[in-house]
Structure formats: structure tokens, C-alpha cells
Amino acid sequence: MNLIIDVGNSFVKLAIFKNSMLMHKEVVALKLVLKSINILKETHGPKKKAIISSVGKLNKSDVEAIGKSFDVMILDSNVKLPFKNLYATPNTLGVDRIALVCASVDQFPNSNVLIIDSGTCVTYDFVTAKNEYIGGAISPGLRMRYKSLNNLTANLPLLESETPKSIIGNSTNASIHSGVVNGLLKEIDGIIEEYNRKYSDLTVILTGGDANFLSKQLKSSIFANSNFLLEGLNYILQFNLNE
């Protein structure tokens, strides 16, 4: 079994895979990582391999502690990957985006795939049917848009995400929901439309924390998969083990 550790800025996703099958997933606070991993060791049996994807902060001592129990791979730009990276600055490509591209190569081989990750930021990543990663885009995520309106203005409130009842907001709150949510939906639908015009037989994957909220409102045809990044990390680990 493989242990997958995806470190964010505040929380950590832990997952256990048996080959390509997700057996367990949980989200824990950064300070509870070691405690949670020790519990997983006891409840899910021996796990010899682990991969750490860190876009946040995992203490060096924590990494060393994990390394005492597992053969650990740290995901970075030097890890062998199952696609050709044509990004102009490959060393700056985020490990989360690398994992998403790997998942698409594994699950949709020989396909033009656009992966949309709707989290703190919305990232767009495109891989061609020739297995070439070209690049994509980075945009503010849903929560960031709500926070920006509150932080950068004097009187606009900070709201929780809510599906707009109408394109026309009849109050300040309704106007914020319409602007933020409809703005992001139009952005995503518009970008998908642009890719569809340029690339035939396009497959679109939507993942990330806001995937379920957004997928119900998008006009475009998509596959929603909230575990896509974890599946990509597991595939990277398997890919390197088989080399």
C-alpha cells in the first residue's frame, strides 16, 4: 500500500492507495500530521512507500520522522514524470499541477486534456494527445474573490459562497454573489470554449475544493473528480517504482 501526503497551507490530505484503488482519505491539521500517520500505520497495516507533495510548510523534522517509517519520495521538478514538460520555466511548475497532469496522462492517455483545479487559485493545465504538457493559466479562486472584495473595499461584507438566484443582484449581498460566482463560471466556460475551438476531442476535468459547487452550474461538459490530485500523486509513485 502507498501513503500519499498532500500538504497545503493549513491542512494536509492523507490517502492510502492499494495499487490504483483509493482505500482511505482524510484531511488533518498540519500540526497533527505525524499523529495521524501513526494511527494509519496501526489501522491499515504496513505501508512501505510514501510520496510527499508540499505546497505549504512541512517541518524538516516531520519529513525526517516520516522517513524513518517509509521509503519517502519528495515530489519536485527533478522526479521522473510520465509526460514531456514543455513549460518554459519547468522548475517553477507547482507540484500540485504536476500531479494533476500525471493523473490525466494515466486516466486519459492519448487525449487532449484540460485540467481545472478550483481551489485557493483556479489553475488551468493542458496536456496534448502527444503526451506534451504545454502550460495553462492561474486565476483567483472563489474564496479569494470574495475576500478581495472585502479586504480591498471599505464597505463590502465577506460572504460565504452561495449560488446566485439571478444574474441581477437586487441587494449588495446578491450582487456580490452574482459577480463572484457568475464571473468565475463565465471564465471557466469561456476558457473551455476557447480550448474546444483549438483542440478536437477535448476532455475537461474539474477538481479541487470548489469542484462540486461549480460543476452543477457550468454549461460545459466536464468530468468532476475531487480525488484527481491524490490519484496523480499515487500514479507518480507507482510510475517511479516500476522504472
pLDDT tens digits for range 108-135: 999 999 999 999 999 999 999 999 999 9
Q: Looking at the structure, tell me whether residues 60 and 99 fall in a common domain.
A: no
Q: Looking at the structure, tell me whether residues 115 and 18 fall in a common domain.
A: no
Q: Is the pLDDT of residue 146 over 90?
A: yes
Q: Looking at the structure, tell me whether residues 104 and 223 fall in a common domain.
A: yes
Query: Cell 493559466 sits at which residue?
Result: 137
Q: Looking at the structure, tell me whether residues 64 and 43 fall in a common domain.
A: yes
* 242 within a domain of the structure (yes/no): no
Percent of residues, the chain, with pLDDT higher than 90: 80
- What pLDDT score was predicted for residue 131? 95
Q: Looking at the structure, tell me whether residues 103 and 222 fall in a common domain.
A: yes
**CATH value at residue 146:** 3.30.420.40
Q: Looking at the structure, tell me whether residues 113 and 203 fall in a common domain.
A: yes
Q: What residues act catalytically?
A: 96
* 241 within a domain of the structure (yes/no): no
Determine if residue 97 is labeled as part of a ligand binding site: yes
- What pLDDT score was predicted for residue 243? 60
Q: Looking at the structure, tell me whether residues 114 and 174 fall in a common domain.
A: yes
Determine if residue 146 is labeled as part of a ligand binding site: no
> pLDDT per residue over 16-32, tens digit each?
999 899 999 999 998 89
Q: Looking at the structure, tell me whether residues 123 and 229 fall in a common domain.
A: yes
Sign, CA dihedral 180-181-187-188, equals positive
> pLDDT per residue over 7-18, tens digit each?
987 789 999 999
> pLDDT per residue over 76-111, tens digit each?
888 999 999 999 999 999 999 999 999 999 999 999
Q: Looking at the structure, tell me whether residues 39 and 115 fall in a common domain.
A: no
Determine if residue 95 is labeled as part of a ligand binding site: yes
Number of domains in the chain: 2
- What pLDDT score was predicted for residue 41? 85
Q: Looking at the structure, tell me whether residues 103 and 64 fall in a common domain.
A: no
CA distance 69 to 53: 17
Q: Looking at the structure, tell me whether residues 56 and 94 fall in a common domain.
A: no
Q: Which domain holds residue 45?
A: 2-74
Determine if residue 96 is labeled as part of a ligand binding site: yes
* 240 within a domain of the structure (yes/no): no
- What pLDDT score was predicted for residue 175? 98
Q: Looking at the structure, tell me whether residues 28 and 131 fall in a common domain.
A: no
Determine if residue 101 is labeled as part of a ligand binding site: no
